[in-house]
Every structure is written in structure tokens, then in C-alpha cells.
A and B are shown apart, each in its own frame.
Chain A
Amino acid sequence: MNANKSHKPDEDTSETNLKKPVIISVIIHGLVILFLIVGMPHIKTREFEAPPPIMVELAPIADTAMTDKAPVKAPPVEEPKEELPPPKKEEPKKEPPKSEPKKEEPKKEPEPLPEPEPKKEKPKEVEKPIEKPKEEPKPKVEEKPKEEPKKEEPKKEEDSSEAFDSILKNLADVPEQVETDEDAVVDEDALPQPTPDAPLGAQVTMTELDALRYQLSQCWNLPAGAQGAEDLRIEVRIKVNPDRTVQNVEIVDQGRYARDSFFRAGADSARRAVLSPQCSPLKLPEDKYDQWKTTVIVFDPKEMF
């Protein structure tokens, strides 16, 4: 640049009035330099402006982060605990039928079955799959909010510490298992709550994801003990209503669902988990609806084996 500038006068020696172009040149060069000094950093800063919301949001992890293990109140010292019996579910109460205006009305008789073959002692051979009743009651989207009263108070979550033990019992291991943090007690206060004042459109934080993860791990009752259970990996895509109830569940791998009975059973259990009244509404930050209105949940019991 400077070389350029210094040569100019030499080239134009024949001209008598050099002052004006020189001044213009100096001004323009000055502007360029000024822009480079002031303007460039400005652009750079703008480029780096996008990430900060993530950085800021990541900070709280240290305080409240949790895995999908139950938060540990205090490490269980001494006193090796006996294995707890599985948490008892409340006995089904006899409730009067909910007044459900939307009740499915009797639609149609199930499809008539094909005539049975006159085989007698071979029950296997007379089996016929029954067709689905034609009008299978469609889950109605509007129905969901109606069940609002059943929304769980947070205390619904029970201590399910045993769920975190390996589901395969081994007598040889018993002494070693005693002092892990498996006997953790759920501390409700430690459960992360959605931050109400999060900036609009901000990312769902790790802490918030953990809350959802923990919630769903309490509702996912998987067919354990089956061969290959450790290789199970089920993706379900859920559409969520703004009130955080699940509107629709789609099992992503339909091909495997159709041909693999074990995957099918696992996928059904995953679907039950996201539709479970115990997990409704989902623990999602209400103000970030755009982020979670469609969510893929990957169910993979790898930590259980």
C-alpha cells in the first residue's frame, strides 16, 4: 500500500497539480486503514456473537447437573443395605369412571373370523389372526388435555433405586454391590426445574434434558432378561403439545418393528413410556416449545447391563 502511494507522485511528474489526487488518495487509504482497524474487529465480534447463549446456559451444569441416575443425597456410608424390594405401585384404586364425553362409541363388530377348520386336537392349526376391529378408536388429540387433572405432582416419583442395580442377579457379586451409590434417594429439590426466565428461543440445556431423561427412565419398563436385551436401541419420534403432553408417537424403524419380535416388544414399551400418565406432562421447559415440539427419544438400556 505504501509502496503504491509513494510511486504515484513519480509517475505523474508531468502533472503540475498533484496535490488533489494525493489528498484524495491519502483520505481513501486512511479510510481503508481505519476500516481495517475498526471495521474488521467489529465483523469478527459479530461472528462470535452467536454462540454465547449456549456458553451462558452451559454454566449451570456444575450446580445442578444430574445424570439419569437419581440424585444422591448423601453417599450411603456403612450399613450395607439389603436389596430393596421393587417399589410397590399403588394398588389400583377403584375409581368411578371418569366422565368422558369423548368416550369411544361402539363402532362396529370385529371383523367376522374365517371359518375354523374342523381340526380337533391340533389347536395350533386353527389359529387365525383376528382382524383389528375396523374402527379402532383413534387417539384423539383433544382428549389429552382433558386428562390434565391426572397430572402428577412431583412426589409421584418414587424411589426406584433398585431399578438402577443391574437387573441380572449374581450371588457372587453381592458383597461388592453394597457400597455403590445405587441406593440413592430421590431428592425432589435437587431435580432441575425449567428456568422460567430463560431467553426466548434459547437451546434446551443439558440440565433440562437430564430432567426429561430421568423422568422417562422412571416410566420405561423394558422387557428385561431377554436374549439380546443389551443390544436394544429404539428411536421414537414424539410430537408434543404446548402443554407438554404427547400428541403422537412414531416408532422410527418401522421395518424392524415389523420383522423383529423382540424389537417390537421393546418399541411398544418405549411407546408406553412416553404415553405413560406417570410421565405426563413431560419435563420440558415450557418457554422453549419450538425446541422440543418434535423430539426424538432414543431408548437404549446400555447402562442396565
Chain B
Amino acid sequence: MRFLTIPALAFLSLLIIGIISPAKAELRVDVNRGISEPVPTAIPDFHVGAGGDAQLATLLPGIVRADLESSGLFRILPPSSYIQDAGSMQTAPRFPEWRAISAQVLVAGQVLNTGGGQRVEYRLYDVFSQQQLNGMAYNVTSQNVRRIAHIIADDIYKRLTGEEGYFDSRIVYIAEQGSGASRTKRLAIMDQDGANHKYLTDGRDLTLTPRFSPNEQMVTYLSYKDNKPRVYIYDLNTGQQSVLGDFPGMTFAPRFSPDGNKIVMSLAKNGNTDLYEMSLRGGSPRQLTSTPGIDTAPSYSPDGGQIVFESDRGGTQQLYVMGAGGGDAKRITFGQGRYANPVWSPRGDLIAFTRLQSGKFYIGVIRPDGSGERLITSAYHVEGPTWAPNGRYLAYFKETPTASGRSAKLYSIDLTGQNERLLKIPGFGSDPAWSPIHEN
């Protein structure tokens, strides 16, 4: 018996091994790297359906193309290379034809009249898996056509990147004209892509550092009306300007709180500059800091719980974070040179800033705990970062010395440091401030 059991056991174990191994036959492969390239995207002109406006069918996809292309994440394939026409795509895209021109995603849309007005429909397809990823319809009028196009671009951007879009947003900035003493600086506003540009103030008074309110209906800024620097509020609906509070000293560097009910700013009094918070519903200002030196450029975290600001209390100008109610501040930058203009990202993960070191300006980002500082662009003079509403892009201004003085222009850049783009403005400009995304 004994000598039977050993081979039996051996046989049994072999059998068990034989049974187990098919179970782990599924091969597993880890892919830990990828590439980061713009996604080849095809967006043909939209199909003109029954009663559809042919102009819209060209205008809408044109705006969508420009938006997506400007993000740097999409490469729009030239429409002349498209094989399938928009009409036949309304039934079904012929994916092999789109694959043949190396498109990976495809947008097919049409404009039609539903009786109640023009309507645009679009569908987003994944060419390789031949699946529809998204599909929406919007009512469109000649007034809102650009916004609808931006909303469609935001839909597509979100579906393909997972992040919120930012195309349906605006930028307010300081338009500059003339040079030297005759230079005017006035408030201007435009869509994120440069369309619908208009001046808000007449340029009589020097205007600086505009900032949007969270509901995008107001802009707060610094103006030298009657040669007295004060914080003002501009109501975009009424065009009214009003001074904020009545302070003995000069007020500057205003910014809205995330709930839109308060403004935090600097007040210079008796040779000392501290941070104050002012409710828009009235009441007296509340002092948040009281150290000797200059505390300025405050910016709230998106949850409203903290404030980042610049201060020279430690000897050099550095960034500090404190609770929104004041109190102890924690220094978060320790690099050489000076740090300024901190702005908390709308997604909360980073703080953008300007850094001046060895005669050169940088735009950088850092985590709120002071780790992970990264400088993403630099120039002779680059300053004033502002976040796109999705926290993925930054806009800022860059000044280059020219024969006739200095000329400032607006740029945007991807958080990764790639894709720096010149923003379209009629003249020169500085101090851009990106709006939140449209809420309604």
C-alpha cells in the first residue's frame, strides 16, 4: 500500500496542477507609458437638414474646430481630406473611410428647422471602436450661435479628456494704448477666443487688476479715479461702476470670495499694508493680517477656507497660506528671488504665481502645501497668471521691449508647460482675468 500511495499522490498533484493552470491562462500585460499627442479629429461641416440654416451649418463647426484646436489636445484634420459627406453621415458614419484619413474621433452634426426655430444636433464618434460617445441637441439663434458652438466644444472636450471644458468663458483684461505718459489703460472684455470684444471703461482713469465675480456678472478692479487708487466694482449687466467701501488709505489687489459675497483686498494705512475682507452686503471691513510689511495679492482657495497671499514679512517677498479668517500663516515658497501674484486654481490642486529671479520672470505652479513647484514659462517680463475655469490652462501677459517702448500681449498656456498661444486682442493688453464657466 505504502508504495502505491507515493505515485498516487504524485499523480494527484500533477492532476491538480493541470486543472489549475488553465485558470491562470489569461495573460496580463502592464502598459505603464503612453504618448501625449493631439488626438486626430475630424469635424466636417454640419449637414443642412430640413429648413436648416446653411450658414449655421458652416459657422458652428468652424468655431468648434477652432476651440478644440486651441486646447492643444486635438489636431483637426483638414476638411478637404474628408471622404464621407455630412449628409450620409446622418444615417451612419463609414468608419473605414475615417480611419483611412487617420481620424480617431469624429463629430457629425446637422442643422434643421424644427418649426420652433433652428436646432443643431451633433454626435461624437470613436472611429476605432465605431461607437457613439456623445450626442446632444441645442436650439440656436443668431445671438447665441457662438455660445452654442462653445458649449458643444466643451461637451466634446469633456467627453474626451474627462475634464470640464472652458470654451464657454470670457476674459476681462486691461487694454493698453499709446506709450509713455499718454498711455491709457482701460477695462476690456471678450470671449475666450477673442470674439465679442468690447471696452468697458473709457480710459480716462488708469485701471488695473480686474477680477471676475464667481457669477461672472461683476468685475472688481483697481482704478485711479481722481488720482486716488481705490477698489471698484463694475456691474456687467448695468455698466455701473461703484467704489467699494470708504477707506482712509488706498485699497488695491481685490478679489472675490468663491461664494461671491465678499471681497478680499489690501489696505495701505500708516505705512503698513494688510489684508482686509469686505462683505458686499455692507458692514465694516474685517482685518485679516496685522504684521509689519506688505501683505497683498490675496486669493481664496475654491472652497473659501483658505487664502494665499504674498508678503515680505520674512525679509523677501514670498507666498503664504492662512485660514480665510486670518490667523497664523504658513510660508509655502522658499526659492530664491521674489514670488508674487498667487492665484489658487479653481480645481484646488495648485497655486499659480509669478517669480522674479536673476532678472528674469517666470510663471510657475506649486501645491498649496508648498511642494511640487514647477516653472512653466519665462520671459523678460511675464506676469499676472489667471486660471481657465477648468484649472487646466493659464493666461498671463508678456511684455517685450521694443523700439517704441514696451508692448504687452496676452498668452495662454497648458498647465503641462506646452502649447503657449497668443490670445487675439485688438491692441496691447495686460492683467488678464479668466471668467468662471457660464452658469446658465
The interface residues of chain B lying within 8 Å CB-to-CB of A297 are 28-31
Residue of B at shortest CB range from A222?
B34
Interface residues of A in 5-19 (CB under 8 A from B): none
CA–CA, A225 and B392, complex, Å: 7
User: Can you pick out 15 interface pairs between chain A and chain B where the beta carbons lie within 8 Å of each other?
Assistant: A43-B10, A46-B14, A94-B80, A120-B144, A130-B123, A137-B95, A172-B375, A224-B416, A265-B162, A271-B126, A272-B129, A290-B25, A294-B26, A296-B28, A298-B30
The interface residues of chain B lying within 8 Å CB-to-CB of A89 are 37, 40, 75, 102
Instruction: Contact check, A110 vs B162: say whether CB atoms are below 8 A apart.
Output: no
Instruction: Contact check, B94 vs A104: say whether CB atoms are below 8 A apart.
Output: yes
Binds A, one of B130-138, B171-179, B399-407: B130-138
The interface residues of chain B lying within 8 Å CB-to-CB of A61 are none
Q: Which of B2, B102, B347, B417 contacts A92 (CB 8 A)?
A: B102
Q: Is A190 an interface residue (CB 8 A)?
A: no
Binds A, one of B84-92, B213-221, B426-434: B84-92
The interface residues of chain B lying within 8 Å CB-to-CB of A125 are 440
Q: Is A249 an interface residue (CB 8 A)?
A: yes
Instruction: Contact check, B94 vs A133: say whether CB atoms are below 8 A apart.
Output: no
Binds A, one of B153-161, B259-267, B285-293, B317-325: B153-161
Residue of B at shortest CB range from A168?
B416
CA–CA, A249 and B417, complex, Å: 34
CA–CA, A138 and B129, complex, Å: 9
Interface residues of B in 94-108 (CB under 8 A from A): 94-97, 99-104
B368: shortest Cβ distance to chain A, in Å?
A: 14
Q: Is A55 an interface residue (CB 8 A)?
A: no
The interface residues of chain A lying within 8 Å CB-to-CB of B37 are 86-87, 89, 163, 221
B128: shortest Cβ distance to chain A, in Å?
A: 4
Residue of B at shortest CB range from A295?
B27
Residue of B at shortest CB range from A135?
B92
The interface residues of chain A lying within 8 Å CB-to-CB of B136 are 127-130
Instruction: Contact check, A46 vs B161: say whether CB atoms are below 8 A apart.
Output: no
Binds B, one of A74-82, A191-199, A273-281: A273-281
Instruction: Contact check, A170 vs B374: say whether CB atoms are below 8 A apart.
Output: yes
- If A160-B35, A272-B128 are given as contacts, then 18 extra A-B residue pairs at C-beta distance below 8 Å, sorted by A number, are A40-B6, A92-B81, A94-B80, A104-B95, A110-B135, A116-B119, A125-B440, A128-B137, A130-B135, A132-B132, A163-B36, A209-B27, A226-B161, A260-B162, A265-B160, A268-B133, A276-B128, A297-B29
Instruction: Contact check, A92 vs B35: say whether CB atoms are below 8 A apart.
Output: no
The interface residues of chain A lying within 8 Å CB-to-CB of B391 are 227
Q: How many pairs, one residue from A and one from B, have CB atoms within 8 Å of each other in the complex?
A: 296
Instruction: Contact check, B26 vs A296: say whether CB atoms are below 8 A apart.
Output: yes
**B96, B377, B415: most-surrounded residue (chain A CB, <10 A):** B96
Instruction: Contact check, B29 vs A212: say whether CB atoms are below 8 A apart.
Output: yes
Instruction: Contact check, B81 vs A168: say whether CB atoms are below 8 A apart.
Output: no
CA–CA, A105 and B129, complex, Å: 18
Instruction: Contact check, B35 vs A123: say whether CB atoms are below 8 A apart.
Output: no
The interface residues of chain B lying within 8 Å CB-to-CB of A108 are 91
Q: Which of B99, B129, B132, B143 contacts A133 (CB 8 A)?
A: B132
Q: Which of A90, A115, A291 contacts B27 (CB 8 A)?
A: A291
Interface residues of B in 383-397 (CB under 8 A from A): 391-392
The interface residues of chain B lying within 8 Å CB-to-CB of A175 are none
- 5 closest Cβ pairs, A-B complex: A169-B417, A262-B162, A130-B135, A220-B34, A265-B162
B74: shortest Cβ distance to chain A, in Å?
A: 11
B117: shortest Cβ distance to chain A, in Å?
A: 8
A74: shortest Cβ distance to chain B, in Å?
A: 21
Instruction: Contact check, A275 vs B129: say whether CB atoms are below 8 A apart.
Output: yes
Known: A68-B33, A113-B137, A304-B33. A121 touches B144 (CB 8 A): yes
The interface residues of chain B lying within 8 Å CB-to-CB of A87 are 37
Instruction: Contact check, B378 vs A171: say whether CB atoms are below 8 A apart.
Output: yes
> Chain B, 29-50, contact with A by CB distance < 8 Å: what is the 0/1 string?
1111111110110000000000
Q: Is B73 an interface residue (CB 8 A)?
A: yes
CA–CA, A218 and B36, complex, Å: 10
Q: Is B147 an interface residue (CB 8 A)?
A: yes
Residue of B at shortest CB range from A140?
B130
CA–CA, A221 and B14, complex, Å: 45
The interface residues of chain B lying within 8 Å CB-to-CB of A262 are 161-163
Instruction: Contact check, B10 vs A46: say whether CB atoms are below 8 A apart.
Output: yes
Q: Is B60 an interface residue (CB 8 A)?
A: no
A216: shortest Cβ distance to chain B, in Å?
A: 5
Instruction: Contact check, B104 vs A272: say whether CB atoms are below 8 A apart.
Output: yes
The interface residues of chain B lying within 8 Å CB-to-CB of A100 are 94, 96
CA–CA, A70 and B415, complex, Å: 27
The interface residues of chain B lying within 8 Å CB-to-CB of A98 are 96-97, 100
Instruction: Contact check, B347 vs A227: say whether CB atoms are below 8 A apart.
Output: yes
Interface residues of A in 244-263 (CB under 8 A from B): 249, 260-263
CA–CA, A135 and B91, complex, Å: 9
Q: Is B316 an interface residue (CB 8 A)?
A: no
Interface residues of A in 197-232 (CB under 8 A from B): 204, 209, 212-213, 216-227
Instruction: Contact check, B36 vs A221: say whether CB atoms are below 8 A apart.
Output: yes
> Chain B, 55-98, contact with A by CB distance < 8 Å: what is the 0/1 string?
00000000000000000010101101101000010111011110
Q: Is B242 an interface residue (CB 8 A)?
A: no
> Chain B, 1-30, contact with A by CB distance < 8 Å: what is the 0/1 string?
011001100100110010000000111111
